[in-house]
Amino acid sequence: MNVRSSSEVETRFVGRRLASLLRPNDIVLLCGELGSGKTAFVAGLAEGLGVEDQVTSPSFVLVRRYQGGFIPLIHADVYRLGSLNELADLDLLDEADDAILAVEWGDAVESAMPSQYLRVQFEVEEDGTRQISLAGHGPAWTDRRLEDVME
């Protein structure tokens, strides 16, 4: 499914709507260039999950954890990881058993993910709008209607 966003507010809205489809243990890989809207999207996810804390980029701390919503949210940024071994050291997959794991720069670790995840691709158009593509992978996503995100 593809969605066009012309502002940070709209990008957050898409994330907020997607939250209604997410379940504990879901993995959301966020892929796109710097400044394409990944953190804004996660902020919307957090809002949709009922998280009251302000979401900030985990670029320097690698991982931020948000409690207080319907489902805990783990927000990771793997841009600075040197290898997939470093991802394993973070133990994110085990920690996400009862949470949603949102991973910025997810394309760098996609090969290490379980077979079931949602890939969200951000493309910045020449006019500054964003094309956001959502694609579910694995059986866990076959019964979820991503197009419902925008209804």
Q: Is the pTM of this model over 0.85?
A: yes
Instruction: Give the pLDDT score at 112.
Output: 78
pLDDT tens digit sequence for 127-141? 999 999 999 999 888
User: Which range marks the domain in which residue 121 is found?
Assistant: 2-143
Residue 66 lies in a domain: yes
Residue 104 lies in a domain: yes
Residue 18 lies in a domain: yes
CATH number at residue 25: 3.40.50.300
What percent of the chain is modeled with pLDDT above 70?
90
Distance, CA of 91 to CA of 137 (rounded, Å): 21
Show Cβ contacts of residue 150 under 8 Å, excluding neighbours closer than 6 positions.
1, 3, 14, 17
Show Cβ contacts of residue 23 under 8 Å, excluding neighbours closer than 6 positions.
71, 100, 140
Residue 67 lies in a domain: yes
Distance, CA of 63 to CA of 105 (rounded, Å): 13
Distance, CA of 41 to CA of 21 (rounded, Å): 15
Inform me whether the pLDDT recorded for 85 exceeds 70: no
Residue 92 lies in a domain: yes
Amino acid at 96: A
Q: How confident is the model at residue 151 (pLDDT cuts 50, 70, 90)?
A: low
> How confident is the prediction for the chain on average, in pLDDT?
87
Mean pLDDT, rounded, for 96-101: 88
Mean pLDDT, rounded, for 9-19: 94
Number of separate domains in the chain: 1
CA-to-CA dists, residue 129 to 15, 30, 87, 150, angstroms: 16, 17, 31, 17
Residue 149 lies in a domain: no
Mean pLDDT, rounded, for 75-90: 72
Instruction: Give the pLDDT score at 78.
Output: 81
Instruction: Give the pLDDT score at 93.
Output: 75
Residue 150 lies in a domain: no
H or E element in which residue 42 lies = helix 38-48
Residue 151 lies in a domain: no
